[in-house]
Structure 1
Amino acid sequence: MRQHTYLTPGSGIFMRYKWEHGAMRTATKRKTSVTLDSAALKAAKSLTINVSAVAEAALIKAVADARRKKWLADNASAFAAQSDCHARSGHPLAKIITAPGGSSRSR
């Protein structure tokens, strides 16, 4: 994957261009300051670990996890209503759903 990074002068904003799946994607990066354990930072630098990339990946995962948790909480009542409906009336696809290993097609 080819990747190019450009800095907009004086703004502290980086524009990163990546080729993904045959198309160019743009990611805006902003400088920030974080406080890290000095021993961990020293060890990372001695091992040539890209601290920014690790922090970014961890932040992206934390945001995705928080969004998923929020979505599940926001939709809990819908899941409960669907479960109640299935308990009362049966699953609408019960005739074509089978146990693992079985065929789901009628012959």
Structure 2
Amino acid sequence: MPDRARSSTSMSLDRSVLDEARALGINLSRAAEQGLVAAIRAERARRWRAENAAAIDAYNGFVEAGGIPLSEHRKF
């Protein structure tokens, strides 16, 4: 991940988690950032699935009714 403009923030963490992370030499800012990036990706994916659920269901119904389009041309 390339360095970008950074912003200072504060947060509250469980003391034992914080102490262990420090004892292990974990970069708290980077670990928090990586966790937020993962949470953002997961939430975007969840929202995409929710927003497109009707289209996905319709396509799945189409495939169930008529099979996979152009399946006769598949080599596997």
TM bracket, shorter-chain basis: 0.7 to 0.9
Query: 1 or 2, which has the higher helix percentage?
Result: 2
Determine the structure 1 residue equivalent to 2:20.
43
CA distance in 2, matches of 1:88, 1:39: 55
* TM-score (norm. length: structure 2): 0.84
Aligned counterpart in structure 1 of residue 71 of structure 2, from 58, 76, 94:
94
* TM-score (norm. length: structure 1): 0.62
Unaligned runs of 5+ in 2: none
Runs of 4+ in 1 over 6 A off after TM superposition: none
Report 1 or 2 for greater relative contact order, CA contacts < 8 Å, sequence distance ≥ 6: 1
Determine the structure 2 residue equivalent to 1:83.
60
State the shift of 1:54 in Å: 0.7
CA distance in 2, matches of 1:92, 1:84: 12
Determine the structure 2 residue equivalent to 1:7.
none
Matches within 5 A, 1:6-17: none
Identity percentage of aligned residues: 32
Q: State the aligned residue count.
A: 75
